[in-house]
Amino acid sequence: MNSKSKSGPSSDNAEKFPALSNEKLQYIEESGLMFETLGMTRMTGRVFGYLIICDLDAASFDQIREAVRASKGSISGTLKQLMQIDFVEAISYPGDRKTYYRPTKVSIGTLLNSRNYQTKMFSDSLQKARSLKSREDDVSDWLLEVSCFYEWIGKRLADLVEEWETIKVSHLKKKQNAEKNNHHINIYRNKLNNS
Amino acid sequence: MNSKSKSGPSSDNAEKFPALSNEKLQYIEESGLMFETLGMTRMTGRVFGYLIICDLDAASFDQIREAVRASKGSISGTLKQLMQIDFVEAISYPGDRKTYYRPTKVSIGTLLNSRNYQTKMFSDSLQKARSLKSREDDVSDWLLEVSCFYEWIGKRLADLVEEWETIKVSHLKKKQNAEKNNHHINIYRNKLNNS
DNA sequence: CATTTAGTTCAAAATATACTGAACATTAAA
DNA sequence: TTTAATGTTCAGTATATTTTGAACTAAATG
């Protein structure tokens, strides 16, 4: 035991583990459920959700653990999964034994590619199905069309990513301006809600 | 018991339940595993896989059951799921009490839309995360960019589907010609394999 | 070298999901 | 009205997945 912990559990704990608002805690759970419907685990969603809203440059193992209230083993495995799929990256600081974790700011192209992996698998399977058929019929026509479409659109998506890179700056400016204008509305809404 | 079943179990059973080649049986299992990685059940993949390769206009409940070797309850539930997500449709014939099932030849647009559902969910979640942050940083910039990109590309994909509709006929012709040329190669390959 | 920190590993428990099989519903035919 | 055909439903079981928690490693600190 060190002298700090004797001086009271919440004295400087609050600095290392800043309390999360109910909204944020709720978001973490929602993120968990969403990741579940995407075929990942609830815990990966919780951890990723925490990392993107925690307002820290990077969070420590125990900060994550505290925020999502899970066991060390669970956090350890979950972080590995998230790093494996490149959703999270680890960083470290000199003179600090801890590892810190933060969301990877994956490029749009990478995001789209991982999405396309499943599509490719599906499309390949349909093509194989067609090759196994012993007659040509409506189904084999459909199988051909669908797998051709996916092949075609795979190429087209790559073009779109390039196009996005060229237009994104102006596009994002528009969006941010729209947001500023909405800000007044939000303040007005809050006043209404609090009345 | 009717007279038919007394005359021997495999007499005309073979007509109603034509034996599937090993390749097809294997495909059914592969399809099951693939659907599993897509977040659906193995059984939905088996049943859908069977329906697209069975070379029947439509398969009866018991033909499906026989092909995938599952219980009636399982087939019943699985077919409902597949119909729910519009992968399979039921048809019936006058004077026949059975229901027959066949793969829905869903339009390309519909296929893409259902794929986009998950993306939308993910994108909305990122936007919400950004609104919960109490500071602007690299992460909030990234959150904005990603959710904007998905919004933008959603619109662009709709254009691509339209484009596909206009070019698909000529595109498919090309593909089919390429296939015919490959056919000679496949025959040659088979000879090599059988030697 | 003993202790603390920071995490990893893995067997077992908890939980979630899918599947079976038997009882049931419904319609048609005998 | 009885029997048969065609499924459906659902409780229980089987299976798979996630999470815990305790024992462990490895490195730094006193």
Tell me the per-residue pLDDT of B29-60, one tens digit each, with 9 for 90 and over.
999 999 998 889 999 999 999 999 999 999 99
Mean pLDDT within B101-124: 90
A2 DSSP 8-state letter: -
At A179, is the pLDDT very low, low, confident or very high (cuts 50, 70, 90)? Answer: confident
Domain boundaries, chain B: 9-103, 108-194
pLDDT > 90 fraction of chain B, expressed in percent and rounded: 68
- CB-based contact A179:A186 (threshold 8 Å): no
At B89, is the pLDDT very low, low, confident or very high (cuts 50, 70, 90)? Answer: very high
The tokens for A12 are 């400087």
Within 7 Å: CB of A72 and strand D? yes
pLDDT of residue A99: 96
In the numeric block, the tokens 């259902």 are attached to B114
- The string of DSSP codes covering B146-177 is HHHHHHHHHHHHHHHHHHHHHHHHHHHHHHHH
Residue B23 has pLDDT above 60, yes or no: yes
Residue A115 has pLDDT above 90, yes or no: no
Residue A11 has pLDDT above 50, yes or no: no
Query: Would you say domain B9-103 falls under CATH 1.10.10.10?
Result: yes
pLDDT of residue A193: 41
Q: How many whole angstroms separate alpha carbon B195 and alpha carbon B193? A: 6
Measured CA B22 to C1' C30 distance, in angstroms? 41
pLDDT of residue A176: 78
- CB-based contact B95:B133 (threshold 8 Å): no
Query: Quick one: CA dihedral A96, A98, A102, A106, positive or negative?
Result: positive
Determine which of A57, A113, A132 to mutate to test the interface with B (most B C-beta atoms within 10 Å): A132
pLDDT > 70 fraction of chain A, expressed in percent and rounded: 85
At the topology level, CATH places domain A12-103 in Arc Repressor Mutant, subunit A (1.10.10)
Mean pLDDT within A69-90: 96
Determine which of A21, A29, A142 to mutate to test the interface with B (most B C-beta atoms within 10 Å): A142
Distance of alpha carbon B105 from the chain centroid: 10
pLDDT of residue B172: 86
Lowest mean pLDDT segment, chosen from A20-34, A107-121, B143-157: A107-121
Choice between A118 and A50, residue whose per-residue pLDDT is larger: A50
Residue A22 has pLDDT above 60, yes or no: yes
pLDDT of residue B19: 86
At B98, is the pLDDT very low, low, confident or very high (cuts 50, 70, 90)? Answer: very high
Q: How many whole angstroms separate alpha carbon B51 and alpha carbon B82? A: 11
Measuring from the CA of residue B65 to each C1', which nucleotide is nearest?
D7
Residue A185 has pLDDT above 90, yes or no: no
At A14, is the pLDDT very low, low, confident or very high (cuts 50, 70, 90)? Answer: low
The per-residue pLDDT of chain A, averaged, comes to: 86
Chain B, window 134-163: residues with a beta carbon less than 8 angstroms from a chain A beta carbon: 134-135, 137-139, 142-146, 148-149, 152-153, 156, 160
Residue A191 has pLDDT above 60, yes or no: no
Q: How many whole angstroms separate alpha carbon B79 and alpha carbon B64? A: 10
pLDDT of residue B144: 95
Chain-chain contact of B27 with A132 (C-beta, under 8 angstroms) = yes
Chain-chain contact of B145 with A111 (C-beta, under 8 angstroms) = no
pLDDT of residue B55: 96
pLDDT > 90 fraction of chain A, expressed in percent and rounded: 68
